[in-house]
């Protein structure tokens, strides 16, 4: 039996960003598109945490939204537990939706301020018809205790809680439909540093207790290192490296991964001269030809400007860089 819970193949999403000019109809050839996700493929195994990392605009959140059905892909396929997600079929998506949930970055924005906490957590239970009557109230109390709050908190409103407590409520709500898979989109980036670790530890405990599988979206490599089993690195909508977490942090293969790690002083690899972060992410509406990273890459070669590299196997995953066929860029000794 396959241990893959979620499989993403060739996932692509274009956004039409053509600027309307008066009431002129923009011809098809004149339209401008932004490709937020470009032919992205990866698998997530049951019970693991797979992280997607990359700078702002790399396509992380677009991919997360497509996976939970908030955005329809322009191309590609998402399979959950072996079944293709059919966005056109409301009934099929409803069945699948119970099995996956999402935790958002800002717990205040994701909780209805006019609803009591008990109703917020009970909503998925009612929507999916999982329980009835007094059973629902007992389940809400149990979930609040599971996330470190009290059953009595069900009667309060979201504004009566701190940011960390609100994220605990959001997690209790996510758990209420008994999901197997949770997409965590920057789950701690809106929280004080002092409570970030508590929420991350809670998420890990819940993963063990309920056998959950996580897709973690984050720009914070310290969070990713603390939480993940495997990591995918995105650059301008393309997956440039996938590797086991340990391997990625000790032996990154792609020059962009090295640059990302070197930008975090605590994570810089000891004994290696750091590669300075240079340049800006190019305009995604008009990305550079060839390898999109070539304007910033310290190892750029003539072919990088013309030919887009394909992913090739590495020790624990894949990476897309022309250097890999010739031996990975060697760490410079400082």
> What 3 state SS string does 79-96 have?
EECCEECCCCCHHHHHHH
Looking at 102, 154, 291, 328, which residue binds ligand SF4 (CB under 6 A)?
291
Q: Which span sits near ligand SF4 by CB under 6 A: 81-89, 123-131, 199-207, 297-305?
A: 297-305
Looking at 66, 103, 174, 321, which residue binds ligand SF4 (CB under 6 A)?
321
Looking at 309, 311, 318, 328, which residue binds ligand SF4 (CB under 6 A)?
309
Give 199 or 323: the residue with its C-beta nearer to ligand SF4. Answer: 323
Query: How many residues lie near ligand SF4 (CB under 6 A)?
Result: 13
> Could you tell me the smallest distance in angstroms from the CB atom of residue 294 to ligand SF4?
4
Helices and strands, counts by H and E, the chain: 10, 12
Looking at 100, 104, 214, 293, which residue binds ligand SF4 (CB under 6 A)?
293
Give 57 or 309: the residue with its C-beta nearer to ligand SF4. Answer: 309
Give 36 or 291: the residue with its C-beta nearer to ligand SF4. Answer: 291
The side-by-side arrangement of strands in the sheet containing 318-319 is: 100-103, 181-185, 213-217, 49-53, 230-235, 238-244, 318-319, 312-313
Give 65 or 322: the residue with its C-beta nearer to ligand SF4. Answer: 322
At 4 the three-state DSSP class reads: strand
Looking at 294, 314, 317, 318, which residue binds ligand SF4 (CB under 6 A)?
294
Looking at 4, 299, 316, 331, which residue binds ligand SF4 (CB under 6 A)?
299
Q: Which span sits near ligand SF4 by CB under 6 A: 30-38, 39-47, 242-250, 319-327?
A: 319-327
Q: Which two tokens stand for residue 159?
A: 């504004």
At 78 the three-state DSSP class reads: strand
The answer to whether 75 touches 12, Cβ cutoff 8 Å, is: yes
Looking at 71, 143, 323, 328, which residue binds ligand SF4 (CB under 6 A)?
323
> Could you tell me the smallest distance in angstroms from the CB atom of residue 212 to ligand SF4?
34
237 is an interface residue for ligand SF4 by CB under 6 A: no
d(CA 206, CA 28) in angstroms, rounded, equals 49
Give 31 or 305: the residue with its C-beta nearer to ligand SF4. Answer: 305
> Could you tell me the smallest distance in angstroms from the CB atom of residue 293 to ligand SF4?
5
Looking at 297, 317, 318, 328, which residue binds ligand SF4 (CB under 6 A)?
297
239 is an interface residue for ligand SF4 by CB under 6 A: no
Q: Which span sits near ligand SF4 by CB under 6 A: 2-10, 109-117, 197-205, 287-295?
A: 287-295
197 is an interface residue for ligand SF4 by CB under 6 A: no
- Terminal-residue alpha carbon distance, the chain: 48
The angle at the Cα of 49, spanning 45 to 50, to the nearest 5 degrees, equals 75
Residue that the structure tokens 């020790």 belong to: 315
> Could you tell me the smallest distance in angstroms from the CB atom of residue 295 to ligand SF4?
8
Beta pairing partners, 44: 6
d(CA 173, CA 119) in angstroms, rounded, equals 10
**Pure H helices in the chain:** 60-67, 90-99, 107-110, 117-127, 133-146, 163-175, 193-210, 221-227, 245-250, 255-262
Sequence-separated (6 or more) residues with CB below 8 Å from residue 27: none
Q: Which two tokens stand for residue 105?
A: 């970055």
Q: Which span sits near ligand SF4 by CB under 6 A: 49-57, 144-152, 263-271, 317-325?
A: 317-325
d(CA 117, CA 140) in angstroms, rounded, equals 9
141 is an interface residue for ligand SF4 by CB under 6 A: no
What residues line the site for ligand SF4 (CB under 6 A)? 255, 291, 293-294, 297, 299-301, 304, 309, 321-323
């Amino acid at each position: 039996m396959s241990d893959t819970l979620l499989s993403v193949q060739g996932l692509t999403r274009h956004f039409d960003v053509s600027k309307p000019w008066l009431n002129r109809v923009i011809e098809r050839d004149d339209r401008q598109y932004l490709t937020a996700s470009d032919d992205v493929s990866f698998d997530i195994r049951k019970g693991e945490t797979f992280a997607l990392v990359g700078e702002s605009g790399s396509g992380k959140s677009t991919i997360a939204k497509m996976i939970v059905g908030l955005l329809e892909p322009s191309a590609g396929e998402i399979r959950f537990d072996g079944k293709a997600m059919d966005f056109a079929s409301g009934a099929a998506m409803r069945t699948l939706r119970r099995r996956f949930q999402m935790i958002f970055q800002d717990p205040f924005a994701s909780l209805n301020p006019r609803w009591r906490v008990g109703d917020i957590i009970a909503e998925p239970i009612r929507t999916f018809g999982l329980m009835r009557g007094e059973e629902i109230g007992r389940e809400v109390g149990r979930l609040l205790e599971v996330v470190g709050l009290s059953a009595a908190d069900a009667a309060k409103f979201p504004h009566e809680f701190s940011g960390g407590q609100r994220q605990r409520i959001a997690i209790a709500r996510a758990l209420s439909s008994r999901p197997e898979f949770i997409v965590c989109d920057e789950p701690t980036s809106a929280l004080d540093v002092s409570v970030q670790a508590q929420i991350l530890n809670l998420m890990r405990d819940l993963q063990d207790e309920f056998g959950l599988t996580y897709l973690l979206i984050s720009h914070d490599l310290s969070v990713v290192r603390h939480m993940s089993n495997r990591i995918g690195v995105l650059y301008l909508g393309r997956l440039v490296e996938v590797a086991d977490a340990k391997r990625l942090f000790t032996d990154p293969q792609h020059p962009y991964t090295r640059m990302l790690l070197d930008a975090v002083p605590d994570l810089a690899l000891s004994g290696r001269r750091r590669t300075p972060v240079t340049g800006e992410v190019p305009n995604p509406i008009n990305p550079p030809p060839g390898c999109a990273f070539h304007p910033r890459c310290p190892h750029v070669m003539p072919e990088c400007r013309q030919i887009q590299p394909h992913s090739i196997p590495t020790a624990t995953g894949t990476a897309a860089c022309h250097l890999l066929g010739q031996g990975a860029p060697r760490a410079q000794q400082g």
